[in-house]
Structure 1
Amino acid sequence: MVRLDPKRDQTIRLFRTGTGLAADRETLFWFNLLEIPPKPTKSVNGDDNKLQLAFRTRIKMFYRPAGLTIPFEQATQHLTFSMKGNQLVIKNASPYYITFRKIELRASKEGLVLANLSKTNNKMVAPLGEISLSVAAKGLINNTTQVFYSIINDQGGEVLVIQKLTQ
C-alpha cells in the first residue's frame, strides 16, 4: 500500500525472484490498483457539492519462460471445442493463456448464430487447462456446427479463427 501526496507520482518495479515458476507454460499474475481521492475539504463559498471518483484497475501480467515448445501464433491449433451436455468444453493443450474476445457457435460459415458466448465472464483458459461454458441452443448444435472465435494476441489485437466443433 502506498500513499501519494498531491502532485507526486510513484514508480513500481517488479522483479522476478526466481522461485517456483513453471518452465513449461506461462504463469499469470494480477496487478490490482485502487485509486481513492482524498477526503474533500469544505469550500470557502459554501458550495459543498463535489463529485469524487475512485478507480479500480486490474492488469493481467504474464511470465513467459524462454524455450516454450510452440510460438504463441500457433496456440489456436492446440484448442479443441466439444459439447458435453449443454456445456461447450474448451481444452487448451498449448503452454499459453488464451483470452477470448468473442465465441460464437454457428450453423455454417455464413450461417445462423446458434449461441453467442461473448458475454460470458470466464473467457480465459489456462495452459494445459479447460473451461466449460453454458450453451442455451443445445438442440440446434450438430456435427456441422462451427466455432467462430477471436483471441487477444500479444499486441492486444484480435485474431479471428473458425474451427469445427469436435464430437
Structure 2
Amino acid sequence: MPGASYASITINGTRIIYPERAREQTLRLENNDGSPVLIQAWIDEFDGTRPARDAVSPYLVMPTIFRLDPGKGQSLRIRKIRPLPNAEQESLHWLNIKEVPPAPDASDGENYLQFGILSRLKVIYRPESLDSGAADAATRLRWYRSSLDGRPGILCDNPTAYYVSLAELRWQVAGKTHRMSLDTVAPHSRQQWGIPAELGPLAGPFTFASVNDYGALVSLDAELTPR
C-alpha cells in the first residue's frame, strides 16, 4: 500500500506576535504545488497535536477550513476574542495548519494510505506594557552549570517577561566546535538541558542563537554565571 505525503503550502512566517492593541493579525499561505489542497487552521493552548475539536484558545482563526488552489494564496486572519489571564508577561499559544492533499489517481486499482501534514507556529501575545524590551530579552538570560539525570548539563534562567526562543548552543573543546539544540524558555522560568557525553564538558565562554520576532537567528556570546 503506497503512502502519499508531501507539503505544498508555503507559510510566510515562522511565528505570530500579537500586540495587545492589535485588532487582528494575518498570516499568508501560498500553494506553490500543481494540485489543490484542503487546509484546516486552529489555535490551541496545548503544546501537542490534539485535534481541533479539543482545542482551547482565546483566538479565532478565519477561515478555519478552506480549499487552496494551485498558484493561489490565502491570508489567515487571527483575532483575539477573549482576554488572556496574565497581563504582566507574554502568553504562548500554537497555530496549527493542517493540509490534506488530493487523493491520488486510483485508476490503477492500488490502495493508498494518505496523510495530512501539520505545521505548528507560535502565537505570542504581548501586553502593551512589554512593547519595548523583546529585542533585549535574550541578552538578559543567565546561564549556570547543572546536572541532569547524573550527567553534566546547562541551566538557563529567564528573568524577563518574554518567551525567548533558543535554537543552538556552541562551544569549543580543544579547538573543536560542539553544538547542541535548545528550545524555548518561558517568562520568569528556568529550563535545563543535559549535555551529551560525547560532546565533553561546557566550560568558559560559549555562543548561543536566539530567534527574534521576525524569525531570524541572532548569535550572542555568554559565559556561565557562578552560583
Pairwise TM-score range, normalised by the shorter structure: 0.7 to 0.9
Report the Cα offset of residue 51 of structure 1.
9.1
Corresponding position of 1:148? 207
SS of the aligned residue for 1:90 comes to strand
Corresponding position of 1:31? 95
Letter of the aligned partner of 1:30 in structure 2? Answer: W
Q: Distance in 1 between matches of 2:110 and 2:146?
A: 58
Corresponding position of 1:55? 117
Residue pair 1:4, 1:10 contacting (<8 A) in 2 also: no
Identity of aligned residues (%): 25
1:89 aligned to 2:155?
Answer: yes
Choose from 188, 194, 198 the match for 1:134: 194
Q: Distance in 2 between matches of 1:140 and 1:9?
A: 49
Choose from 179, 185, 195 the match for 1:125: 185
Q: Tell me, which stretches of 5 or more residues in structure 1 are unaligned?
A: none
Q: Tell me, which stretches of 5 or more residues in structure 2 are unaligned?
A: 1-39, 41-63
Q: Distance in 2 between matches of 1:151 and 1:11?
A: 27
CA 1:71–1:53: 2 relative to 1, 3 Å:
same
CA 1:6–1:81: 2 relative to 1, 3 Å:
closer
Q: Distance in 2 between matches of 1:127 and 1:92?
A: 6
Q: Distance in 2 between matches of 1:12 and 1:141?
A: 43
CA RMSD of aligned residues (A): 3.2
Q: Distance in 2 between matches of 1:6 and 1:93?
A: 43
Provide Cα deviations, 1:41-88, integer angstroms capped at 9, x if missing partner: 543xx4758796632111111111111285112112320110112121
CA 1:10–1:149: 2 relative to 1, 3 Å:
closer
Residue pair 2:68, 2:74 contacting (<8 A) in 1 also: no
Residue pair 1:106, 1:148 contacting (<8 A) in 2 also: no
1:116 aligned to 2:149?
Answer: no
Report the Cα offset of residue 6 of structure 1.
7.6
Corresponding position of 2:86? 22
Deviates more, 1:4-13 or 1:29-38: 4-13
Report the Cα offset of residue 20 of structure 1.
3.1
Larger Rg: 1
CA 1:37–1:67: 2 relative to 1, 3 Å:
same
Provide Cα deviations, 1:86-141, integer angstroms capped at 9, x if missing partner: 12101111111111122123359xx543x4212x5xx1111111111001359744
Corresponding position of 1:103? 169
Residue pair 2:155, 2:192 contacting (<8 A) in 1 also: yes
Residue pair 2:169, 2:180 contacting (<8 A) in 1 also: yes
Q: Distance in 2 between matches of 1:25 and 1:32?
A: 23
Choose from 68, 78, 85 the match for 2:130: 68
Letter of the aligned partner of 1:66 in structure 2? Answer: E
CA 1:130–1:34: 2 relative to 1, 3 Å:
same
Q: Distance in 1 between matches of 2:112 and 2:196?
A: 46
